[in-house]
Amino acid sequence: MTRLEMTRRTALLTSAAIAANVANPLRAFAQETPRKGGVFNVHYGAEQRQLNPSIQASTGVYIIGGKIQEALVDLDANGQPVGVLAESWESTPDGKTITFKLRKGVTWHDGKPFTSADVQFTAMNMWKKILNYGSTLQLFLTAVETPDAQTAIFKYERPMPLGLLLRALPDLGYISAKHLYESSSDIRQNPTNLAPVGTGPFKFVKYERGQYIIAERNENYWRPNAPYLDRIVWKVVTDRAAAAAQMEAGDIQYSPFTGLTISDTARLSKDKRFIVSTKGNEGNARTNTIEFNFRRKELADIRVRRAIAHAINVPFFIENFLGDFAKLGTGPIPSVSTDFYPGPDTPQYPYDKKKAIALLDEAGFKPGAGGTRFSLRLLPAPWGEDISLWATFIQQSLGEVGIPVEIVRNDGGGFLKQVYDDHAFDLSTGWHQYRNDPAVSTTVWYRSGQPKGAPWTNQWDWKNEAIDKVIDDAATEIDPVKRKALYATFVKEANTELPVWMPIEQIFVTVINAKARNHSNTPRWGSSSWHDLWLSA
Calpha distance 219→163 (Å, rounded): 34
Sign of CA dihedral 453, 63, 274, 280: negative
Say yes or no: 317 and 446 in one domain.
yes
- Residue 427 β-bridge partners: 292, 378
Quickly state the pLDDT bin for 24 (edges 50, 70, 90).
low
**SS3 of 356-385:** HHHHHHHCCCCCCHHHCCCCEEEEECCCCH
- Residue 431 β-bridge partners: 288
Residues 6+ apart with CB under 8 A from 111: none
Is residue 343, in this structure, part of any structural domain at all?
A: yes
Share the mean pLDDT of the chain. Answer: 93
pLDDT over 70 (residue 424): yes
Domain residues for 154? 69-179
- Please tell me the predicted confidence (pLDDT) of residue 31: 64
Say yes or no: 329 and 270 in one domain.
no
pLDDT over 90 (residue 22): no
Say yes or no: 389 and 428 in one domain.
yes
Q: Which residue did the predictor score with more confidence, 326 or 7?
A: 326
- Please tell me the predicted confidence (pLDDT) of residue 149: 98
**Lowest-confidence segment of 31-35, 277-281, 471-475, 504-508 by average pLDDT:** 31-35
Q: What is the mean pLDDT of residues 439-445?
A: 94
Q: How many CA atoms lie within 13 A of 506 on its CB side?
A: 29
Q: What is the CATH number of the domain that holds 239?
A: 3.40.190.10
Q: Strand locations in 251-344, DSSP E?
A: 254-255, 274-277, 285-292, 326-328
Q: Which residue did the predictor score with more confidence, 26 or 257?
A: 257
pLDDT over 90 (residue 526): yes
pLDDT over 50 (residue 6): no
Chain-centroid distance, C-alpha 225: 31
Say yes or no: 175 and 116 in one domain.
yes
DSSP code for 296: S
Pick the last residue of a domain from 179, 214, 235.
179
Q: How many CA atoms lie within 13 A of 299 on its CB side?
A: 24
- Please tell me the predicted confidence (pLDDT) of residue 65: 98
pLDDT over 90 (residue 19): no
Per residue in 449-499, pLDDT (tens digit) is 999 999 999 999 999 999 999 999 999 999 999 999 999 999 999 999 999
Calpha distance 380→507 (Å, rounded): 19
Is residue 126, in this structure, part of any structural domain at all?
A: yes
The type of residue at 423 is H
Element (H, E) at 208: strand 202-208
Q: What is the mean pLDDT of residues 320-342?
A: 91
Say yes or no: 275 and 413 in one domain.
no
217 φ, ψ to 5°?
-55, 135
Is residue 19, in this structure, part of any structural domain at all?
A: no
Sign of CA dihedral 384, 386, 389, 393: negative
Per residue in 192-218, pLDDT (tens digit) is 999 999 999 999 999 999 999 999 999
- Please tell me the predicted confidence (pLDDT) of residue 9: 46
Quickly state the pLDDT bin for 7 (edges 50, 70, 90).
low
- Please tell me the predicted confidence (pLDDT) of residue 1: 46
Say yes or no: 321 and 465 in one domain.
yes
Say yes or no: 376 and 336 in one domain.
yes
The answer to whether residues 304 and 298 touch, using CB atoms and an 8 Å cutoff, is: yes
Q: What is the per-residue burial (b if ≥16 Cβ within 10 Å, else e) of 131-154?
A: bbbbbbbbbbbeebebeeebebbb
Pick the last residue of a domain from 123, 146, 179.
179
Pick the last residue of a domain from 132, 147, 179.
179
Residues in the chain, total: 537
Share of the chain above pLDDT 70, in %: 94
Per residue in 372-411, pLDDT (tens digit) is 999 999 999 999 899 999 999 999 999 999 999 999 999 9
CA geometry: angle at 140 spanning 139 and 145, to 5°? 115
Q: What is the CATH number of the domain that holds 137?
A: 3.90.76.10
The answer to whether residues 353 and 400 touch, using CB atoms and an 8 Å cutoff, is: yes
Is residue 17, in this structure, part of any structural domain at all?
A: no
Say how many domains are in the chain.
3
- Please tell me the predicted confidence (pLDDT) of residue 259: 93
Strand bridging mode 376-380 / 427-429:
parallel
Residues 6+ apart with CB under 8 A from 62: 53, 171, 524, 526, 527
Residues 6+ apart with CB under 8 A from 310: 349, 350, 351, 352, 353, 355, 356, 359
Say yes or no: 415 and 485 in one domain.
yes
CB atoms within 10 A of CB 116: 21
**Lowest-confidence segment of 26-35, 337-346, 505-514 by average pLDDT:** 26-35
Distances (CA, A) of 347 to 265, 330, 441: 35, 8, 22
Is residue 41, in this structure, part of any structural domain at all?
A: yes
- Please tell me the predicted confidence (pLDDT) of residue 262: 87
- Please tell me the predicted confidence (pLDDT) of residue 12: 46
Is pTM beyond 0.95 here? no
Is residue 192, in this structure, part of any structural domain at all?
A: no
Is residue 32, in this structure, part of any structural domain at all?
A: no
pLDDT over 50 (residue 415): yes
Say yes or no: 467 and 521 in one domain.
no
CA geometry: angle at 366 spanning 362 and 371, to 5°? 145
212 φ, ψ to 5°?
-165, 165
CB atoms within 10 A of CB 338: 6
Per residue in 269-327, pLDDT (tens digit) is 999 999 999 999 988 889 999 999 999 999 999 999 999 999 999 999 999 998 887 99
Say yes or no: 301 and 343 in one domain.
yes
Q: What is the CATH number of the domain that holds 367?
A: 3.10.105.10
Q: Which residue did the predictor score with more confidence, 4 or 322?
A: 322
Select from 376, 397, 428, 432 the least CA-distant residue to 314.
Answer: 397
The answer to whether residues 292 and 499 touch, using CB atoms and an 8 Å cutoff, is: yes
Say yes or no: 301 and 417 in one domain.
yes
Say yes or no: 247 and 307 in one domain.
no
Is residue 63, in this structure, part of any structural domain at all?
A: no
The type of residue at 307 is A
- 14-18 long-range contacts, Cβ below 8 Å, gap at least 24? 14/262, 14/263, 14/265, 14/266, 14/323, 15/262, 15/266, 15/322, 15/323, 15/324, 15/325, 16/323, 16/324, 17/266, 17/269, 17/270, 18/262, 18/265, 18/266, 18/269, 18/276, 18/324, 18/325, 18/509
